[in-house]
């Protein structure tokens, strides 16, 4: 059974009170009821109706702030930064303002907790990426290097009929080394730690163009500003995911990557592909990029339409 609204419940109680009062009054004055003229009875009835109507109007006006707060709460999106209710005005009651303030404090606590948990998760993920990349580079790559050296030594002393097979095995070992190094760079680019953001982005865009055959350009506008390590990381990861989406989904022939330090820090990735109209799942994804941007104190906007390409813009404070 659907519960009734608070306004209906209060009005029902008031109606019962008025009706009960009327019955009691009529009983007490029963000896005078017969003497009432028709016009007086009509006036009494209208007075009762006016009382109930005025009661409804007053209560309805006082319950409007609650309806506003409910509507505002239903529209809150915790995935967006700095969510705050603005549901009350000067005619509302003190209780409504207290409730609004309490909800805003709760939203602030929830956002702070979400940001703290998100930062911790991203930091843990990056530490694990760094560890795996280091293991691939130091251990697995060294093991494959030793295998290649042993194969080379075996080739020099092997009979002619085995040299071809050993050379092929050595080639496969070298190919595995290159793939492992590429995977390690993808997990945690050493150039980002060693040389900084701009060389890392240049290398990323150049490698993307070499691997996909898509024309890619990287440009920097304005004097280079200082970015915190987590901001540099989010710029790199958003670029990485955007270029991956371009290669896998867009069918683009050209993509432009621009990092601007004019009027703040903005990263723009624009392609001339087929665009999209719905969210895709998998990998870091669009929601993951937005979350990373929020954790770094920024905002991510994505605009796309069919056959009009896609524009990804990251703005950092």
pLDDT band of 281, cuts 50, 70, 90: very low
pLDDT score of 257: 92
In total, the chain counts a number of residues equal to 317
pLDDT at 86 over 70: no
Give 305's contacts (C-beta < 8 A, 6+ positions apart): 275, 277
| pTM summary value | 0.58
Higher pLDDT, 310 or 77: 310
3-state secondary structure the chain: CCCCCHHHHHHHHHHHHHHHHHHHHHHHCHHHHCCCCHHHHHHHHHHHHHHHHHHHHHHHHHHHHHHHHHHHHHCCCCCCCCCCCCCCCCCCCHHHHHHHHHHHHHHHHHHHHHHHHHHHHHHHHHHHHHHHHHHHHHHHHHHHHHHHHHHHHHHHHCCHHHHHHHHHHHHHHHHHHHHHHHHHHHHCCHHHHHCCHHHHHHHHHHHHHHHHCCEEEEEEECCCCCCCHHHHHHHHHHHHHHHHHHHHHHCCCEEEEEEECCCCEEEEEEECCCCCCCCCCCCCHHHHHHHHHHHCCEEEEEEECCCCCEEEEEEEC
For the cut 80, the answer to whether the pLDDT of residue 31 exceeds it is: no
pLDDT digits (tens, 9 = 90+) for 166-216: 888 888 888 888 888 777 777 777 777 778 889 889 988 998 898 888 899
**Is pLDDT at 218 greater than 90 in this prediction?**
yes
| More confidently predicted of 111 and 6 | 111
The span from the CA of 103 to the CA of 85, in Å, is 8
* Tokens at 101, concatenated: 């303030």
């Amino acid at each position: 059974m659907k519960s009734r609204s608070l306004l209906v419940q209060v009005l029902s109680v008031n109606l019962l009170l008025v009706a009960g009062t009327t019955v009691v009054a009529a009983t007490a004055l029963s000896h005078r009821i017969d003497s009432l003229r028709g016009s007086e009875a009509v006036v009494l009835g209208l007075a009762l109706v006016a009382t109930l109507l005025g009661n409804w109007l007053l209560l309805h006006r006082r319950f409007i702030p609650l309806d506003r707060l409910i509507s505002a709460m239903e529209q809150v999106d915790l995935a967006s930064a700095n969510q705050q209710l603005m549901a009350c005005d000067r005619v509302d009651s003190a209780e409504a303002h207290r409730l609004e303030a309490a909800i805003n404090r709760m939203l602030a606590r929830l956002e702070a907790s979400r940001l703290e948990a998100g930062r911790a998760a991203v930091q843990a993920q990056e530490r694990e990426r760094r560890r795996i990349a280091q293991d691939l580079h130091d251990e697995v790559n060294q093991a494959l290097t030793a295998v290649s050296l042993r194969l080379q030594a075996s080739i020099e002393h092997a009979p002619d009929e085995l040299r071809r097979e050993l050379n092929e095995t050595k080639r496969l070992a070298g190919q595995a080394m290159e793939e492992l190094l590429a995977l390690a760079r993808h997990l945690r680019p050493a150039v980002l730690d060693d040389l900084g953001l701009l060389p890392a982005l240049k290398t990323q865009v150049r490698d993307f163009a070499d691997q996909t055959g898509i024309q890619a350009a990287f440009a920097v506008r304005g004097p280079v500003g200082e970015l915190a390590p987590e901001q540099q990381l989010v710029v790199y990861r958003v670029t990485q995911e955007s270029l991956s989406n371009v290669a896998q989904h867009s069918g683009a022939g050209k993509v432009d990557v621009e990092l601007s330090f004019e009027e703040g820090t903005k990263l723009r990735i624009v392609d001339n592909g087929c665009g999209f109209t719905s969210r895709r799942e998998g990998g870091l994804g669009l929601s993951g990029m937005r979350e990373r941007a929020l954790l770094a104190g920024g905002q991510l906007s994505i605009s796309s339409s069919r056959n009009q390409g896609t524009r990804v813009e990251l703005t950092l404070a």
